[in-house]
Amino acid sequence: MFSRVVRRQAMKEIACTLAAAAASELAANAIGASAARALTVATMTALPVHIPTGAKILAGEEDLDFTLADRLPLNWQRLYHSRNRSTGMLGTGWMLPFETRLIRFQADDGSLQFVWRDITGREIGLGAVEPGDIIHFYEDGFTLYCTRQGVMLLQNTDGEHQLYEPDPAREGEWRIARIYDRHENCHYFTWNSAGQLINIASDNQALEVELSYEAHHGRLAAVHQCVGNERHALVNYRYNEQGQLIAVQDADGITTRRFGWDSDCGLMAWHSYASGLTVRYHWQPAAQGPHWRVNAYEVLDEQQQSLEHWVLDADEQARSAVVTCLSGGSTEHHWDALNRITDYTDSYGARWQFQWSAQRESLSTVVNSEGQRWELAHDERGNLTLLRDPLGRATQTTWHAAWALPLKTVLPDGACWQYRYNVLGDPVEQTDPLGHVTRFSWNDQGDLVTRTDALENTARFWWNERGQLVREEDCSGHSATRQYDDSGRLLSSTDAAGNSTRFHWSAAGRLQRLIRPDGRETLYDYDRAGLPCRESVDGVSERQVARNVRGQIVSETDPAGLQTRYQYDRFGRMTALLNPNHDRWQFDYDNGDRLLAQTDYAGRRTQYGYDRLGQLTQITEYPLAAEGELTAPLHTRLTYDALGRRVAKDTADSHTEYGYEDRSVELRRTTLARWQQAQATGEPVEWEETLRFSLDAAGNLCSEDNQSGHWQHEYDPLGNLLTTRMPDGSALNHLRYGTGHLLQMNLQHGGRTFDIAGWQRDALHREISRTQGALHQETRYDALGRITLRRATGEREHAFLFERRYLWDRQDQLVQQMFTEDGIGQPGPQCLQSRFGYDARGQLTHSIQPHQEERFHYDAAGNRTDSSSATVWHNLLQRLGGTRWGYDRFGRLNWRHNGPQGEEQRFSYDAEHRLTGVSFTGNPHYQRAEYRYDALGRRSQKILYPHHGEPETVTFHWNGLRMVGEQSSLRPEQATRYLYQENSWEPLARVDSIGESSEVYWYHTELNGLPTRMTDEHGNLVWQGQFSAWGETRSESTPQQLATPQNLRYQGQYLDRETGLHYNLFRYYDPQCGRFTQPDPIGLRGGLNLYQYAPNPLTWIDPLGLSKCSSGSKPDFYVGPAGPSATMPSTAYRYMNSKFAAQTMESKSAPLSYFGYTKYKTGHDARDAYQIFYEKGNPDSWSDARLLGEFDTLQLYKNGVPQVKVPLANGDRGPGYELFTSAYPEYGKGGALQLLPVEKGYTVIFDKVSIIPE
């Protein structure tokens, strides 16, 4: 069939104008978000104009008209390129993915040669092609086959094959006839005699669309999906008299795009979005050639008022341009002969230099303004083989001989990941750095059939004809299923317990109705732009949002009708937030995108300083001004290494350094004065404290050294914790089944083994039974996974002891609890009932329990009040139920007066807002107390000074972010150890030891983890507590004397009996008022009310004192060594391209790129929120975002340090994490939280992988 194999380089006048997106994605993965953003903005303006050529380009989310599910998904992506002078189905300048062409022409030497017109309309020279030729264009990423019969086939490195046939209507041109993937899944293209494409169908007969044309110009007018004997409209197009596209309408009748055209040059004059936002372009002829360039553009609102005005002043001969935002800054751009950016200076003066590989579109070096240099090397196919960072660390990758698939990646620490594939490029083995192997098998269509992990657990998968998952079976044989309609949209999802969730969609694929397993319905409405604007849950609870012309939310209305409002400047930057009390939070920016300051509700101002690269280097917190009172501001200074990792932090109190090695990180802290003295004298620093964390080659935390000693962790091949060895030699062991579900836990201590707990689990691997010494606890759930019963029985004939039954309303709120106990000495069981009520916002309004009734009122911002008409201004509660509170100039509680007891407490803090001391007036036991913390922010000691006698020092022991033990100086021989539920702060048991002698006690908790009973190994009660609805201790009884009082309260909380406050890791909680005593260290990321604990303490928790979460889930946040600034939600979501579904579902793992914390129901919503660019067949595309991976962010911590960067929207600049995604408005509305991993190839294990509908 073939007679000659040739290697050749395609001839290009310019590099692909969309290549910057691919290069920036590479840069983001390889060298970080700041370089990626620099390369992107250096090449393209925000509403994309290609700066070197001045070409206007549209290829974003707003121009993806629909996607149809199939093994080869059909992505109807429009692409406009002003330099594309060819006329396609949609008019001049427009291309659809299947309009690429092979064109034969006679060269000047008389030979017949070919060009390929790519998706941008760029014509790439292929040279002479003869029948029987195989021509490898390795550097360009494709191979051309020409059979002896003249059939032309183009294959790219992803394995997609495009088969071209001669076009009878156009002499010398070849059009697409079929597209195949590596598994020969195929789309057939049918053309009529006029040369118009009229039908696309898949070989599995699961996908078919018909195209119809308007008569006047022969332009594409509509696309319909054929389902059985029915035709469903997908998109409609309208044109002006000149045949130029002027409107796009989706299947719901929403006009998603409008266009206007310049009469002089025939190019796009303006385009508008469904929201009404319009962008108008100004053109001038290019200095050379027939093309025109954009020299300015304006962003306009619905009234055509200017929001932004940009000027592009280009010197084509010098290959340079200055881009200026009027009322903003200017940037400088330089490029080479192929229009690849070589030099870029941003509006802050930071300079980036880029070098490229010969004629390729591959980066070879990147140098920033600090001289930090990254070196990249590629193989002959353009795959990245070497990355050397500014510290000289190398990451090396070898690649598959035929496909762009990695065979081996060696990370800078020597950890090696290896992959093996079958002949079709499907991964069949993955070997992690510890040598553990995961195996995969596939069917002929490329669907994953089985996944066998390193412990030989096998999961199985079944797929429909479209390649959609219809059934998955875990290693225990439990199955979950999915059903789809004839159009490929998800109809229902049924878990292994038989609980089904059903979905209803609009014609355009917008979710309209969701029906939960209990029959409850949630309805969704959309605004005129097709964006969600209303959610109604079961006809009872309704939330609404309103948006501005950019699609940004300007108001949120909660079920009680209360509004939170957001204000933006004309550039779309949030300038103010107004809570339902009308308190205002303000944001100030410079002329670029850096946040300079924010002013909270009370008027306290925080300012931010940055280095030249935009890294946050200084935080200055100003106290609230007060007449006659002078309080100094608080300064925090941050220093970074060449990789952007924090290496030092200075506050008024301390100096902390962070040291990094390949598999460890070390934190060292001393006082600032001592460090400054050492710097001045040149003497070694005397460190007060050192913390060290180390990892194994797979990234598992294997040890921690802290003030308690050395902690060691051992894992199974799947990364599940097996053993924790403690500083005293004790070992906590975990026995598991399947893929890591906990089956049994025991403690080895003092030569004995204590059985802590054993579990039985259901088909969803939830706990249904647990041993607790001599007792068993039974747990039952309803169809929604809510706990309905917890029953404790004894070993003897399962003797009944006590049980709790829970009743829930249709808003998932606990409304009734029935408590029944044995009633020893009574004629029968004793039954007690508790009832709870809520307002429309889900806030607890009354708690009626035996012997006590409580009623609660709130203001509009969620603050507790004495009456429903009261307002707590600035969220600073001062009076409630006879107790009074006062605050210092930083908003921290500094005074509390308890009315009934008459006790007065005064509080003091350090420079990081941690409580350091309390003095008492009227306390019968203590005169004062002191509190100390380690470099991670964990409380290490408290010292109590009684009125008489010696002070008592209580030392706390930590393993990660859990307090695992305590010891008192008054009883130094006794130690108390705390054991918790896995991945939780809910206490499971405690072990009291004196030397080698130990006693184990078991906790019995409420749904929120609050202990109410503790029993010994015989099931006897040793402690019992009764509490208010907000956790205040009302009474305690201890039938058996405990040397250490039972001080654990809500999850993550420890009762300080001297104050009545609960220590909550990063803050303190006051159960008298049900709120925190200090503002949230993570600011608005923890919620709009910085003091709020939760709307409902019965089923919400906040174990870190940062942000609430449902008590049915794992902890809400993890925190690294830097404390709150290194905080991440514990669950994150990665939206990936669905073409990787099989291998990702099979491996349940993937290298991580951008990820976020919001779970979206559709790919459209995810791409819109995360501003993801996608275009079928375009190698520069990012993702269709329909493959959703859910993972635990604990994997992102190395040695306690999160290996992440701030979102691209802020370009590694700005305090903390970016509130709203905003970097790529051309690709979506934004507004989602997102992060980036520091290292390329940072692989995470997903808890769940699923394909979401379009």
* Rounded-to-integer distance, Cα 726 and Cα 964, Å: 10
Higher pLDDT, 276 or 1179: 276
* Domain ranges (residues) in the chain: 737-1114, 1130-1254
pLDDT exceeds 90 at position 851 = no
- Looking at residue 921, its pLDDT comes to 96
**Separation of alpha carbons 109 and 115, rounded Å:** 16
Examine the pLDDT at 1162 and tell me if it is beyond 70. no
* 1002 within 8 A of 1020, measured Cβ to Cβ: no
Q: What is the pLDDT of residue 1176?
A: 39
| Average pLDDT for 676-686 | 94
Pairing of strands 574-578, 939-946: unpaired
The predicted-structure confidence for 781-810, as pLDDT tens digits, reads as follows: 999 889 999 999 997 655 788 999 999 999
pLDDT of residue 1220: 40
- Tokens representing 725 are 């060895």
More confident residue, 1099 or 1105: 1099
The first and second tokens of residue 1152, run together, are: 């991580």
Dist CA 958 CA 954 (whole Å): 13
> pLDDT digits over 16-27, tens only?
666 555 555 555
Amino acid 686: pLDDT: 93
pLDDT number for residue 1160: 62
Q: Which residue has the higher pLDDT, 1134 or 268?
A: 268
Q: What pLDDT was estimated at residue 1168?
A: 64
How many other C-beta atoms are found inside a 10 Å radius of the C-beta of residue 105?
12
Q: At what angle do helices 33-43 and 19-31 cross, to 10 degrees?
A: 160
pLDDT, residue 1201, reads 44
User: Residue 1001 contacts by C-beta under 8 Å, 6 or more apart in sequence?
Assistant: 989, 990, 991, 992, 1014, 1015, 1016, 1022, 1023
Tell me what pLDDT residue 1 has. Answer: 62
Cβ neighbours, 10 Å, residue 630 = 8
The stretch 387-408 carries a mean pLDDT of 92
- pLDDT > 70? residue 305: yes
At 1116, the pLDDT band (50, 70, 90 cuts) reads very low
* Spatial contact of 863 and 877, defined as CB atoms under 8 Å apart: yes
- Answer yes or no: are the C-beta atoms of 552 and 544 closer than 8 Å: no
418-456 pLDDT, tens digit per residue, is 999 999 999 999 999 999 999 999 999 999 999 999 999
Tell me: the pLDDT tens digits for 196-224?
999 999 999 999 999 999 999 999 999 99
1252 versus 584: the higher-pLDDT residue is 584
pLDDT for 1178: 41
* Distance (Å) of CA 1010 to CA 626, 793, 1050, 1164: 41, 20, 5, 41
Strand partners, 469: 463
Question: Which whole number is the average pLDDT over 111-125?
Answer: 90
Round to whole Å and give the CA distance between 843 and 862: 8
Q: Identify the band that residue 1022 occupies on the pLDDT scale cut at 50, 70 and 90.
A: very high
Average pLDDT of 152-157? 92
Residue 1167, helix vs strand vs coil: helix
The three-state DSSP-derived secondary structure of 66-77 is EEECCCCCEEEE
Per residue in 513-547, pLDDT (tens digit) is 999 999 999 999 999 999 989 999 988 889 999 99
pLDDT at 1109 over 70: no
What's the confidence (pLDDT) of residue 1084? 86
Given a cut of 90, whether residue 859 has pLDDT beyond it is yes
Among 931, 959, 984, smallest CA distance to 1114 is for 984
Pairwise CA distance, residues 267 & 92, whole Å: 9
Q: How sure is the predictor about 109, in pLDDT bands with cuts at 50, 70 and 90?
A: confident
For residues 584 and 576, the answer to whether their CB atoms sit within 8 Å is yes
Handedness of CA 166, 169, 171, 175 (dihedral sign): negative
Q: Where is average pLDDT lowest: 226-230, 335-339, 642-646?
A: 642-646
Predicted TM-score (pTM) of this structure: 0.87
- Within 10 angstroms of residue 263's Cβ, the number of other Cβ atoms is 8
Q: Which pLDDT does position 1209 carry in this prediction?
A: 33
- 419: phi then psi, degrees, rounded to nearest 5: -135, 145
Task: Kindly provide the b/e burial profile for residues 843-871, where b requires at least 16 CB atoms within 10 angstroms of the residue's own CB.
Answer: bbbebebeeeebebbbbbbbbbbeeeeee
Q: Mean pLDDT, to the nearest integer, of 54-63?
A: 92
pLDDT value at residue 630: 79
Q: Which long-range contacts (CB under 8 A, 24 or more apart) does 852-860 make?
A: 852/1028, 852/1034, 854/1028, 854/1029, 856/1029, 859/581, 860/562, 860/579, 860/580, 860/581
**Measured distance CA(148)–CA(1225) in Å, rounded:** 49
Percent of the chain with pLDDT over 90: 70
Residue 1180 has pLDDT above 50, yes or no: no
Q: In the prediction, which pLDDT does 1040 show?
A: 84
HEC string of 617-634? Answer: EEEEECCCCECCECCCCE
Burial class (CB in 10 A: 0-12, 13-18, 19+), 922: exposed
Pairing relationship of beta strands 479-484 and 278-285 according to DSSP bridges: unpaired
pLDDT at 1240 over 50: no
pLDDT, residue 21, reads 53
**Helix, coil or strand: residue 1169:** helix
Contacts of 699 (CB under 8 A, 6+ apart): 415, 1195, 1198
pLDDT, residue 344, reads 97
Tens of pLDDT along 1067-1095?
Answer: 999 999 999 999 998 888 788 999 999 88
The model's pLDDT over 1194-1232, given as tens digits with 9 standing for 90+, comes to 666 544 445 565 443 333 333 333 334 544 444 555 555
The more confidently predicted of residues 552 and 1204 is: 552
Judged against a pLDDT cut of 90, whether residue 1153 lies above it is answered with: no
**What pLDDT, in 10s, does the model give residues 609-667?**
999 999 999 999 999 987 767 789 999 999 999 988 899 999 999 999 999 999 999 99
**Residue 1206 tokens, joined:** 């701030």
Give how far the C-alpha of residue 824 lies from the chain's centroid of Cα atoms, to the nearest Å.
52
Average pLDDT over residues 242-269: 97
Average pLDDT, the chain: 88
pLDDT in the model for residue 1177: 38
177 neighbors 187 (Cβ within 8 angstroms) = no
**Would you say 373 and 366 are in contact if contact means Cβ atoms under 8 Å apart?**
yes
Distances (CA, A) of 1245 to 417, 698, 1249: 14, 11, 10
Of residues 338, 339, 343, 365, the one with CA closest to residue 353: 343
